[in-house]
Chains A and B, each alone.
Chain A
Amino acid sequence: MSALTGVRVIELANDPIAWAGKLLADMGADVILVEPPEGDRARGYGPFVDDEPGDDRSLYWWHYHTSKRSVTLDLDDPGDADRFRALLGTADVLLEAEPRHRLAALGFDYDDLTAIRADIVHVSVTPYGRNDPKSDRPFTDLTVMAAGGPVWSCGYDDHSLPPVRGPQQGYHTASHFAVLSTLTALLHRGVSGEGQFIDVSMHAACNVTTEAASYSWLVARQTVERQTGRHAAVNPSSETQQRCADGRHANTGVPPRTPDEFGRLLKWLRETGLEDELPEAVFLEMGAEWDGPFDLSRIGRDDAVTAIFGAGREAMKLIASRLPAQDFFVGCQRAGLAAGAVNAPEEAFEDEHFKARGIQVEVEHEDLGRTVRYPGAPYRMTGSPWRILRRAPRLGEHNDEVLGGL
């Protein structure tokens, strides 16, 4: 049995919460996606199967709506509104990202819902929360992330280049908090029998997902500045991204910090035949033979410690520049040092490790006569497994079986 078997979620189709609905559906919740009769606009988003737009050919739609069922309802139509009311009577959770006054105008806001289903959990996701007029502003994932903090921290050492947005992660972050809220409220309902209303702010979600950018300001009124491929920082830090022999990049990670780690790095440098090319190799030897742990606060103040740590970084960069990125990554890790290849998403997906962990799952698209590989479980739950129950629904595919039974 999946963790959420028997939990019915009504999701009012909308981009910012599509990921939240999928996370719940793939854990066994009966997620019923309510779409307008003409269909949710995301059905028209690319990429498309064989690059041909058309009904049920949006891969974006396929990805975000697995395991859900679709019904069509025009909430402005009295007959459909009655059907929606009946549907809510069977629901444990309402998940929505509607404009903040829309549900009240339709008679379906939380206070109305409790008359239909007293213990319902209503999760609302808006740009700035239900009480802030700024939630009425138009928005996209890009504007949410720009205002909310992540963008400021991402980009390049060269500040004449614009800061950079990691694609679509603003909606993902809002969805993560929508899911955490839903699960927390369901647990509370399981103990107390009561439901409640939950007000998720996308802007707030981004604001608390910026690590030191926020707490450097909160604690010390300091401002971090963006750097290429590594943490934005109050004080500039050493580069950690290196172009490798195959043109791909690697993250040189955490340079050695203990005598043992210096010893292993030196051994690897010798194995790769590069020791002669690194004049600083002698400092690696010093590091390997250092008596006791290093006092890291002496970096920059003590010549020997500074030289040893500088040599560690230089050795990592040299080896990375001479090996293909994957070989550097694996070699470095085998030497007990943390580093990573900068994989493209498809390279990660085809990597032996992720495949062994089951990142590729096959989903049947019987209507197209093909089986498609999808990204798999975000967590391996041994007692209540994640799984994709079915492909994303066609528009109104479940009208009869869901609405017919009300």
Chain B
Amino acid sequence: MPGALSSFRICDFTGQLAGAGATKWLSSFGAEVIRIEDPVRQGRWDILRGVPPFVDERRGIEMGGGFNNHNTDKLGITLNLRTERGKELLTRLIEVSDVVSENFAKGVLERWGFGYDRLREIKPDIIYVSNCGFGHEGPYSDFKSWGPIAQAVSGLTFASGLPGEEPAGWGYSYMDHTGAYYMAMAILLALLHRQRTGEGQWVDLACTDAAVTLNGPALLDWTVNGRPLRREGSPHSNRNQWPAMAPHGIYPSQGDDDWVAIACRDQRDWQALADAIAADWCRDSRFADLPGRLAAQDALDTHLGAWTRERSKYATEAVLLEAGVPVAPVQKPEERIDLDSSTGDFSLWPTVRHTEMGDVRVDGQPAHFSKTDWQMERGAPCLGEYTDEVLTRVLGLEAEELVRLREEGVL
């Protein structure tokens, strides 16, 4: 079945999550993503190739579980760009590609002789999307970054935390995921622009720029009201200022490190919660209306936390769902992946076949298309797994040429 993006070919240098996550969206909708890796360093620029989790006791560059997760259905080839012949083959590949994508440090592609000006010479309507922590222009453009640094510098780490404590930040690279989403959006936007105008372009994507925009209301509170988020008692990100809600938080439950999230959106939710709990404190006059509950939120949280602590998170969920109040257990990976049927029913964890690892479950896409839905079948490519196939089919090379190129260290 042809996919939504089957007519597009991506000449892809991305890696890690911030880049590879972007072209994973494209490959899952049928784009031909040709992932180019360095045979000399055995693709180790992408550190995820060889790091845990592992499916079994085997180790090495074909066994990284994260690498497999982010590179499904891509065609991995090797090209040694230190050689003239390697550069020539890359040039020919760019000639027949729609997009060149990369998330190297600034200047790497340029040093190889494939900066945007050269890319345009090779193919005038090429779309070039670069993605790095601080972008290709600006005072910090030479600085190094990865998810936690992008989150720290942009304000996201600070915004996540409890009062009186240091920043909690993000327990994963939220901005590698999200930077990848913006990179994929940029590629799709540029393709749409080209579809309508025939023009290519360069997109200078900086994960940190995208991250700064994700704190919008706090920024307008700063620019309009002069109120910083760095102030006494702030932030308290388990609460909700905008819109104001109380109670709103994450409360302890019975069980091993078990927690439950509860939010009362309005007076009706509060009344329903109070009726369901039916304790004396629910009738405390301080809690009668929203301004009162906001002012006495610490006391309210103490009472509610004492109630949730007496039961399991799923028991609390059952009681409050019955009352029509927003509630959800803080789910652990096993709970949301294998025990909560919702994700499986949504076909969220497809099994792909990796040449070395065998069958492995991966993250699917959280959207289903009625006519051209995504598909994931093959795991991440082993190093150079599709070199012969791509160079033969796409560039028309003969078998004996491939042998020679391999002998010369080009592949």
How distant is the Cα of A200 from the Cα of B251 in the complex, in angstroms?
Answer: 29
Are A154 and B144 closer than 8 Å at their CB atoms?
Answer: no
Are B223 and A374 closer than 8 Å at their CB atoms?
Answer: yes
Within 8 A of B (CB), among A228-284: 228-232, 234, 240-241, 243, 249-251, 253-254
A37 within 8 A of B: no
How distant is the Cα of A71 from the Cα of B13 in the complex, in angstroms?
Answer: 45
Given A166-B156, A176-B181, A253-B149, decide whether A144 and B328 contact each other with a Cβ distance below 8 A: yes
Could you mark each residue 365-386 of chain B with 1 if its beta carbon is under 8 Å from any beta carbon of chain A, else 0? 1111111100000000000000
Within 8 A of A (CB), among B151-187: 152-162, 165-174, 176-178, 181-186
> Which residue in chain B gives the minimum CB-CB distance to A200?
B367
New contact pairs (12) apart from A4-B192, A51-B225, CB-CB < 8 Å: A47-B221, A146-B328, A147-B329, A165-B160, A172-B214, A186-B192, A188-B372, A203-B342, A208-B365, A218-B349, A218-B360, A345-B158
How distant is the Cα of A207 from the Cα of B348 in the complex, in angstroms?
Answer: 9
Q: Return chain A residues, CB-CB under 8 Å to B45.
A: none
How many residues of chain A are within 8 Å of chain B by beta carbon?
A: 152
Are B212 and A197 closer than 8 Å at their CB atoms?
Answer: no
Q: Return chain A residues, CB-CB under 8 Å to B369.
A: 181, 184-185, 196-198
Give the number of residue pairs across the A-B interface with Cβ within 8 Å.
527
Within 8 A of A (CB), among B237-270: 237-238, 240-245, 248-252, 257, 259-263, 265, 269
Task: State the majority secondary structure of interface residues on B.
Answer: mixed
B94 within 8 A of A: no
Given A140-B240, A187-B195, A346-B228, decide whether A232 and B171 contact each other with a Cβ distance below 8 A: yes
> Which residue in chain B gives the minimum CB-CB distance to A138?
B326
Q: Return chain A residues, CB-CB under 8 Å to B372.
A: 185, 188, 196
Q: Which 5 A-B pairs have the closest CB atoms?
A: A383-B201, A204-B366, A345-B155, A153-B171, A146-B261
Given A251-B157, A333-B140, decide whether A151 and B250 contact each other with a Cβ distance below 8 A: yes
Give the interface segment out of A56-64, A298-306, A310-318, A394-402: A56-64
CB of A63 to closest CB in B, whole Å? 4
Q: Return chain B residues, CB-CB under 8 Å to A16.
A: none
Are A215 and B330 closer than 8 Å at their CB atoms?
Answer: no
How distant is the Cα of A140 from the Cα of B326 in the complex, in angstroms?
Answer: 7
Within 8 A of B (CB), among A116-173: 128-129, 131-132, 134, 137-156, 159, 161-167, 169, 172-173
B233 within 8 A of A: no
B224 within 8 A of A: yes
A49 within 8 A of B: yes
CB of B290 to closest CB in A, whole Å? 12
Give the interface segment out of A77-85, A96-104, A347-355: A347-355
Q: Which of B212, B259, B324, B330 contacts A345 (CB 8 A)?
A: B212
How many residues of chain B are within 8 Å of chain A by beta carbon?
A: 155
Q: Which of A63, A164, A202, A372 contacts B161 (CB 8 A)?
A: A164
B364 within 8 A of A: yes
A190 within 8 A of B: yes
CB of A223 to closest CB in B, whole Å? 6
Are B54 and A60 closer than 8 Å at their CB atoms?
Answer: no
Within 8 A of A (CB), among B195-229: 195-197, 199-206, 208-210, 212-225, 227-229
How distant is the Cα of A329 from the Cα of B139 in the complex, in angstroms?
Answer: 13
Given A46-B241, A132-B345, A208-B364, decide whether A219 and B212 contact each other with a Cβ distance below 8 A: no
Are B5 and A204 closer than 8 Å at their CB atoms?
Answer: no
> Which residue in chain A gives the minimum CB-CB distance to B256?
A159
A86 within 8 A of B: no
Q: Return chain A residues, CB-CB under 8 Å to B186.
A: 379, 381
Within 8 A of B (CB), among A336-368: 336-349, 351-354, 356-357, 359
Are A137 and B159 closer than 8 Å at their CB atoms?
Answer: no
Are B238 and A164 closer than 8 Å at their CB atoms?
Answer: yes
